[in-house]
Amino acid sequence: MELSINYSDIVKVYRMEQTYVMVKPDGVQRGLVGKIISRIERRGLKIISLKMNVIKEATAKEHYSEHETTSFFTSLVKFVISGPSISMVVAGKDAIMVMRTIAGATNPVDAAPGTIRGDFSLDIGRNIIHASDSTDAAAREIAIHFKDSEIWEYSKIDEVCIYE
């Protein structure tokens, strides 16, 4: 007798948190995009939108507006618009916290081995990745970089293995 499983019948509807992730121009230039995406997916998170572009200056300033009064704001904006980057919306249970853990400490000197920053960067000004740090920041950053029509909700077949 053949066992047939209809996964659409057993997949629960999970409340998936969304977060914004950017592979910065240094990560793109160094050919790390595939390794970073692999880490995100291996952890069990899913990418529900992804695009490559050179961010416009006005968009970069809006994205980093909380740093507007800092000494590094101008150099940060200049760097982020210096070449192509990858923008993603990543979803999963506790996606914001999980993505921040995968990324590692903002200053790569403090980032643990096994994290993206801990494995691939040495300088805070070239730290490979941005990941939203709160639900408010995630919602704001997703809205800056994506239209609602660019975000895809779907179920992955392995969700039954990842979530209880």
Residues 63, 67, 130, 145: which is the catalytic one?
130
What would the pLDDT profile of 37-94 be if each residue is shown by its tens digit?
Answer: 999 999 999 999 999 999 999 999 999 999 999 999 999 999 999 999 999 999 999 9
State the architecture of 14-149 in CATH terms.
2-Layer Sandwich (3.30)
pTM over 0.75: yes
Average pLDDT, the chain: 91
CA angle at 132 for the pair 37 and 152, rounded to the nearest 5°: 55
Buried residues in 102-130 as b, exposed as e (16+ CB within 10 A)? bbbbeebeebeeebbbbbbbeeeebbbbb
Q: Is the pLDDT of residue 6 over 50?
A: no
How many Cβ atoms from other residues are within 10 Å of residue 19's Cβ?
27
Residue 15 pLDDT: 63
- Residue 145 known to be catalytic: no
Task: List the chain domain ranges.
Answer: 14-149
Cα gap 38→86, rounded to integer Å: 14
Question: Do the bridges between strand 85-92 and strand 46-53 make them parallel or antiparallel, or are there none, so unpaired?
Answer: antiparallel
